[in-house]
Amino acid sequence: MHLLFLGDIVGRDGRDAVVRQVPKLRQSLGLDAVVVNGDNAAGGFGITPAICHDFFQAGVDVITGGDHIWDQKDIPGYIAHEKRLLRPHNFPPRTPGSGFVIVTLPNGATLAVLHLLGQVFHREYLDSPFTAAEQALEGIRLGHHARAILVDMHAEATSEKQAMGHFLDGRVSAVVGSHTHVPTADAQILPKGTAYQTDTGMCGVYENAIIGFAPEGPMQQFLGKMRRSKMVPAEGAATLRALRIRTDDKTGLATEVEALHIAA
């Protein structure tokens, strides 16, 4: 299977670039599936049903969220019935939606996607992402119940993401990191065959921006320890950061992994 994961989509320029480029990438790369992180797609804070619709129409198969998943008011009702939009699986059990889905792709193959939120520097009420991963994958055998399994580990700490990679090595096709918006230079295949990258980066504006936002918003917190104005996404030419993964159809393990930088 040939997979593409697109990192956090930030603001209008980021999402417009994704909608414009995904159909082209599916064709030019011969992709079987595209998974995107949409945690900052709506003005930098969460995602809306309309944006999800645009992504699905463009050829996205699954959308993951993160710590901003509830920022837009229509999402709790929408996520309850739209199984292709995931919230972190280690939220409390009564939370609407799910963080795990198995989808059947146009070619008939099955892809499982698991979405987790790290505990380090995040809210303490979360269940352990490691326990949640064990529970979600119990009884799911890679290459049998799903031809490929992709895990989006949305977390602040690089060590927690690396720990998840090694924890699931050999049991899933890929563990991809999201959330920090800065791509890391460690795309690799771990010893037991799982593709890994600590953070894929973002789909948004990199030039004259801080993690995809106009510099004034983040700077006010560093300089004055308070937020006087709302953070807004930077405007300009967006760049897509993605991780391309190819897996063995029999084992589901990774055979190729490549970090992509796509000018959009």
Tell me, what's the pLDDT at 229? Answer: 75
| Span 226-246, pLDDT tens digits | 777 789 999 999 999 999 999
70-110 confidence digits (pLDDT tens) = 999 999 999 999 999 999 999 998 999 999 999 999 999 99
- pLDDT of the residue at 226: 72
Transcribe 60-120 into DSSP letters.
--EEE--TTTTSSTTHHHHHTT-TTEE--TTS-TTSSS-SEEEEE-TTS-EEEEEEEE--T
For the chain, the C-alpha Rg in angstroms (whole number) is 17
pTM of the model: 0.96
Residue that wins the pLDDT comparison between 14 and 220: 14
166 classed as catalytic? no
CA distance 177 to 107: 27
In this prediction, residues 158-170 reach a mean pLDDT of 98
Give the model confidence (pLDDT) of 26-37 as tens digits: 999 999 999 999
Of all residues in the chain, what percent carry a pLDDT higher than 70? Answer: 99
Q: So what's the architecture of 2-263 in CATH?
A: 4-Layer Sandwich (3.60)
CA gap 245, 239 in Å, rounded: 19
Model pLDDT, residue 221: 82
Tokens of 138: 């119990």
Question: Distance between CA 68 and CA 101 in Å, rounded?
Answer: 20
Catalytic-labelled residue, pool 68, 89, 115, 122? 68
Give me the pLDDT at residue 120, please: 92
- Residue 71: phi, psi to the nearest 5? -70, -25
pLDDT, residue 171, reads: 98
pLDDT, average across residues 136-149: 95
Cβ pair 206, 236 in contact under 8 A: no
How would residue 124 be classed by pLDDT, with cut points 50, 70 and 90? low
